[in-house]
C-alpha cells in the first residue's frame, strides 16, 4: 500500500488561516492544475479529517471526488445523508486505519487535511509527500507540519516552478 500527501501551503508553511480560511488558495493558475488530476488518477481512496471533510462539504455543488473518502473523526457521529454514497466514517490510529483499508484492497491512499496528515507523518506511514507552495505569506495560521518524534529524512523526486510563481516539490519519505 502506498500512502501519499498532496497538499498546498503558503510560502511560510501554513495550510489555512487561523480560522481555517482557504481564500488565499484562490490563485491564478491559468489552465494548470499542478499535476492534481494526474495524481488523483492513481488514488484509490482518500483519508481526511473531519475539519477537511466539513470544509469540502460546505463548498456545495457536486461532490469533487470520484474515489471513496474515509473521514477520520472521534466526534462526528454520521455522514450527512447526501454524502453517504461518497464517504464513510472511521476512527483509530493511523496504522489501524491503513490496516482496515488494506483489508479492503485499496492500493494508493491519499491523506488530506492538516491534523490527519501530521498524524500519518508522525506515525511514519507516509511514502510520498507532494507540497505545492503558493507565493503568499500569511504570517500566521495552521501549519502544515507539526511535531515529529524524530527526524524524518526525505529524498527529492522533483522540483518544479510554474509561471504563476507556484513551486511544487515531490519527495519520497524515508
pLDDT computed for residue 27 by the predictor: 74
Q: How many C-beta atoms lie closer than 10 Å to residue 88's C-beta? A: 13
User: Structural domains in the chain?
Assistant: 2-173 (3.40.430.10)
pLDDT computed for residue 122 by the predictor: 94
Please give the backbone phi and psi of residue 5, each rounded to the nearest 5 degrees, phi first. Answer: -120, 130
How far is residue 3 CA from its own chain's centroid? 11
- Written as nine digits, the cell of 148 is 515529529
How many whole angstroms separate alpha carbon 172 and alpha carbon 174? 7
Q: Are 8 and 169 in contact (CB under 8 A)?
A: no
How many whole angstroms separate alpha carbon 120 and alpha carbon 101? 14
The pLDDT tens digits of the residues spanning 46-65 come to 999 999 999 999 888 899 99
Q: Are strands 167-173 and 154-161 parallel, antiparallel or unpaired?
A: antiparallel
Those residues of the chain that have pLDDT short of 50 are none
How many whole angstroms separate alpha carbon 116 and alpha carbon 138? 22
pLDDT computed for residue 29 by the predictor: 63
pLDDT computed for residue 131 by the predictor: 98
pLDDT computed for residue 143 by the predictor: 95
Q: How many C-beta atoms lie closer than 10 Å to residue 29's C-beta? A: 15
154 has which bridge partners? 173
pLDDT computed for residue 38 by the predictor: 96
- Written as nine digits, the cell of 12 is 511560510
Amino acid at each position: 500500500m502506498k500512502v501519499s500527501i498532496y497538499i498546498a501551503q503558503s510560502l511560510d508553511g501554513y495550510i489555512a488561516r487561523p480560522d481555517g480560511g482557504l481564500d488565499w488558495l484562490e490563485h491564478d493558475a491559468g489552465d494548470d492544475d499542478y499535476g492534481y488530476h494526474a495524481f488523483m488518477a492513481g488514488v484509490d481512496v482518500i483519508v481526511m479529517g473531519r475539519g477537511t471533510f466539513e470544509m469540502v462539504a460546505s463548498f456545495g455543488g457536486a461532490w469533487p471526488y470520484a474515489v471513496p473518502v474515509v473521514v477520520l473523526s472521534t466526534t462526528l457521529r454520521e455522514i450527512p445523508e447526501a454524502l453517504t454514497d461518497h464517504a464513510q466514517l472511521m476512527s483509530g490510529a493511523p496504522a489501524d486505519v491503513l490496516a482496515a483499508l488494506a483489508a479492503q484492497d485499496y492500493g494508493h491512499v491519499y491523506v488530506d487535511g492538516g491534523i490527519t496528515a501530521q498524524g500519518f507523518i508522525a506515525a511514519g506511514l507516509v511514502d510520498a509527500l507532494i507540497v505545492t507552495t503558493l507565493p503568499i505569506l500569511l504570517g500566521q495560521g495552521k501549519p502544515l507540519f507539526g511535531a515529529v518524534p524524530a527526524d524524518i529524512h526525505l529524498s527529492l523526486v522533483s522540483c518544479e516552478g510554474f509561471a504563476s510563481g507556484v513551486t511544487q516539490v515531490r519527495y519520497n519519505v524515508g
